[in-house]
Amino acid sequence: MAATATLASILTNTSLSSLVWSSTYRRTLLSPVRLVCRLASNHFWTENYQKNSNFITWDSRARSRYRSFSCQSTASSNVDSTPDSVSSNGFRKYGRLLPCPSENGPPRVEHLVVKEGGPVLDYISNSLDLPPLFVADLIHFGAVYYALVCPKPPPSATPEQIKTYKEVTAPSVLKNRASVKGKTVREAQKTYRITRADEFVEAGTYLRVHVHPKRFPRCYEIDWRSRIVAITESYVILDKPAGTSVGGTTDNIEESCATFATRALGLTSPLMTTHQIDNCTEGCVVLARTKEYCSVFHGKIREKKVKKLYLALAAAPVPVGVITHYMRPINIAPRLVSEESVDGWHLCQLEVLECKKVAWPTSMTERRYSIEDCGWPPQDFAYECKVNLLTGRTHQIRAQLAACGAPIVGDSMYLPAAVAEIVNPRLNPFRKNSKKYANETDKAQAIEEWIAQHGKEPAVAIGLQACQILWDNGEHFYEAGTPWWR
């Protein structure tokens, strides 16, 4: 598809691939909950099918002023403070998004195509039967997105869904929309956050609404001022607490370290993220005070001028020295690593500088930080390792140490698989001594079975801290405080 092709010529091509219905978005939408997906037309229809033991239902319902491509959980949206209570304006009573719930609700993402233009808040409220205050909060959280042109429905869509899609993206319709004239498909389908509740959305605009944003209750428990390590004209060093997000998530930029640190310091300009560490990891992060320094620090990372040291609390001893694996290039957890080089997989290297035997965290400490048991057999001693991260892959330390038989304490994602491998050493298909497979189908099945041994992302903390960060040959050097397990 030519990058300069216009919408009118390309949208008639039935091979047009959707940016929104890519594998990344399918993973978000087809989560392990029962989903109901609907597309409005003039009558009801359903099509059920089984996928990974989850029933998916595509449903169409008549609506007067709008059409929607939407996916939602069958669980309630949890937006009313009193069940079945109704306010004077006809909407359910609503107590806002605060106080923050202690647990996240099931995922719910709605996809709408605007039939009649108007203020975005009113349109979403009426379309999804949500209280206006709730929608306003979703917009404030950064949980509402728009694109000028609706993406193509997934391959499982019915002829009626395709028909509706073609109606709102027909060249005869698009040529009358000044906002999309001359734009390529990629440009017109690019999504942006809605930032104002009174923002006008024209007919044909695509909306994506994350009705249940991922929440971070730990943000409200932290003395953020006490977590500031250093303040300069260009950046702030934060000792990030476990159970928080550095810069926010796709559906929640409000409950983030950058936001709360900005408020704690009374800054007028928001702090910006320069790099990430996992939500369940604590320790040093650099937050830029200006766009210019944000760009400068990104350059230092690219040029490998930034060095990070970690403390990892492993469940078993780890040999000192460089550990090498190769990580599967798929942006989804769990991150799979192989002891042998695999075509296209990313090199992962870390150096264990020291490994010392320490006491396993007490039950009181584990409860305080919501450390999950995960079934590791001996829990008398753990092993504190100082790790020099040589390559910076997502989940790298967690995945590599687990692959060495020394998963990180409390890591409910990787530790269960390590336990399963103790019981059956040949379970991991990426070991050098793993069994040989007769064909690719058998190997693919073994990989799926291995993935199934992994658990869920930790609720709050694991035994991992970004203990030191330095750059420019140590000219800038910072250390985090005492790790939670000491």
Catalytic residue annotation: 278
Q: Please give the Cα distance from 17 to 31 (Å, whole number).
A: 22
Q: Please give the Cα distance from 330 to 434 (Å, whole number).
A: 22
Q: Please give the Cα distance from 332 to 334 (Å, whole number).
A: 6
- Cβ count near 213 (within 10 Å): 24
First to last CA, the chain: 56
Give the amino acid at 262: T
Give the number of C-alpha atoms closer than 13 A to the C-alpha of residue 134, restricted to the C-beta side.
23
Tell me how many degrees the CA angle 235-239-244 measures, rounded to the nearest 5. Answer: 105
Ordered alpha helix ranges (H), 404-483: 415-423, 440-452
Cα 412 to Cα 41, 138, 346, 472: the distances in Å are 44, 30, 24, 36
Contacts of 395 (CB under 8 A, 6+ apart): 278, 333, 334, 335, 413, 414
- 181: helix, coil or strand? coil
